[in-house]
Amino acid sequence: MNPTADEPATHEPPARLPEPLPEKPSVSVIMPVLNESRHLEEAVGRVLSQDYPGEIEVVIALGPSKDDTDVIAADLSAHDARVRTVPNPSGRTPSALNAAIGASSHPVIVRVDGHGILPPGYISTAVRLLAETGAANVGGLMHAEGTTPYEQAVARAMTSKLGVGNARFHIGGGAGPSDTVYLGVFRREVLEEMGGYDEEFERAQDWELNFRIRQAGYLVWFTPELQVSYRPRQTPKALAKQYFNYGRWRRVVSRHHQGSVNLRYLAPPAALAVVVVGTIVGLTGYRIGWIFPGGYAVGILAGALWEGRNLSMRALIRLPLVLATMHGSWGAGFLTSPKSLADRLMAGRARLPEEDRT
């Protein structure tokens, strides 16, 4: 999960104010892509058609895709000088982001995913809010949208409290300071001060970067004015892998940054543990054990009926399994995340010269 603060906070000036932005600052859009042939052309097209009055460039970081992503990216670059590509041989998202940042040149950095679809006024609104709030990073809602019944079920789960808790960038909420935001529109000077994304974090790199930004005294700002359409995973296997990795790497973040975990992150692993223990107890002949998995199943079914009341029947019947997949996979990833991952990360950072640490 990519969590945000639970409640909007009163807007106070940040402890550190970045340098003022120039009027209509030029914008660099960075886009990490891997196997994004389905959505890449639309995603880039939406960026280039923004109504922003300043200059825009798009830097696509190409991972080792197995589909036609590279061909599509090359064609986009050949037909529009504002689009450039850089290689990302590792295929890792934080490496792609840092490569794209390094190849970009403008004072405002806009992160967009290869399956993220920007609305027309996104960049103009984000740049205005950077100036008005003094924030180092602003962002908004991940507006999940599905086309197939399964994707529609996933989209509904990703925008409900039952699926993802009270994360504002999933379910909405008032504008204000936040732990983190979806994607993000950054001031380059702050990204450079932070040393960019930490490439040790295969997942949760957004949360980890925003944690460091806040620790440095800068403001991260959430606003529901910014919405990016998001295309959910298409299969149960892909969804389970996604949420397992979310849980796995969120545990690494919590170990690396003490005090960064809250009760919402502990809910999925706690629920999984209770269901597993209850099932084991029930299987050994103690019927009382079945209360726990049975209670979870009833809760998920009832919650799915409520959350999916406006879905088609084909999407609705998939929603309970989607919710259980998200909870169970995230919880399993969190519980089984080896301490060696965090130990390796911290050991590697300890070997860096002081000036190279972020």
Q: What DSSP string describes 296-324?
A: HHHHHHHHHHHHTTTS-HHHHTTHHHHHH
Q: pLDDT tens for residues 38-55? A: 889 999 999 999 999 999
Spatial neighbors of 338 by CB under 8 A, at least 6 apart, are: none
**Residues 142-149: what's their mean pLDDT?**
86
| pLDDT value of position 14 | 66
pLDDT exceeds 90 at position 21: no
| pLDDT value of position 31 | 96
Nearest CA to 2 among 207, 262, 199? Answer: 207
| pLDDT value of position 251 | 83
Kindly indicate the confidence band of residue 166, based on its pLDDT and cuts at 50, 70 and 90. low
DSSP secondary structure code for residue 22 in this structure: P
pLDDT exceeds 80 at position 311: yes
pLDDT exceeds 90 at position 137: yes
| pLDDT value of position 351 | 36
Torsional class of 137: left (φ above 0), alpha (ψ -120 to 50), beta (otherwise): beta
pLDDT exceeds 70 at position 65: yes
| pLDDT value of position 7 | 40
Residues making up the chain, counted from first to last: 358
Nearest CA to 1 among 163, 213, 116, 153? Answer: 163
Spatial neighbors of 345 by CB under 8 A, at least 6 apart, are: 200, 201, 252, 256
Q: Where is pLDDT greater, at 255 or 5?
A: 255
Kindly indicate the confidence band of residue 204, based on its pLDDT and cuts at 50, 70 and 90. confident
The per-residue b/e assignment along 290-323, b for 16 or more CB within 10 angstroms, e otherwise, is eebbeebeeebeebbeebbeebeeebbebbbbbb
DSSP secondary structure code for residue 288 in this structure: G
C-alpha to C-alpha distance for 189 and 344, rounded to whole angstroms: 29
| pLDDT value of position 134 | 92
Q: Where is pLDDT greater, at 191 or 260?
A: 191
Kindly indicate the confidence band of residue 230, based on its pLDDT and cuts at 50, 70 and 90. confident
Spatial neighbors of 1 by CB under 8 A, at least 6 apart, are: 164, 165, 167, 243, 246, 247, 250, 265, 330
pLDDT exceeds 50 at position 9: no
Kindly indicate the confidence band of residue 188, based on its pLDDT and cuts at 50, 70 and 90. very high
**Residues 55-76: what's their mean pLDDT?**
96
Whole-angstrom CA distances from 267 to 46, 246, 296 are 37, 14, 12
Torsional class of 51: left (φ above 0), alpha (ψ -120 to 50), beta (otherwise): alpha
**Residues 292-310: what's their mean pLDDT?**
92
Show the tokens assigned to 136. Answer: 């180092």
| pLDDT value of position 328 | 93
Q: pLDDT tens for residues 317-346? A: 999 999 999 999 999 999 998 877 666 665
Kindly indicate the confidence band of residue 5, based on its pLDDT and cuts at 50, 70 and 90. very low
- The domains found in the chain, sorted by start residue, are 27-232 (3.90.550.10), 255-346 (no CATH)
Q: What is the pTM of this model?
A: 0.76
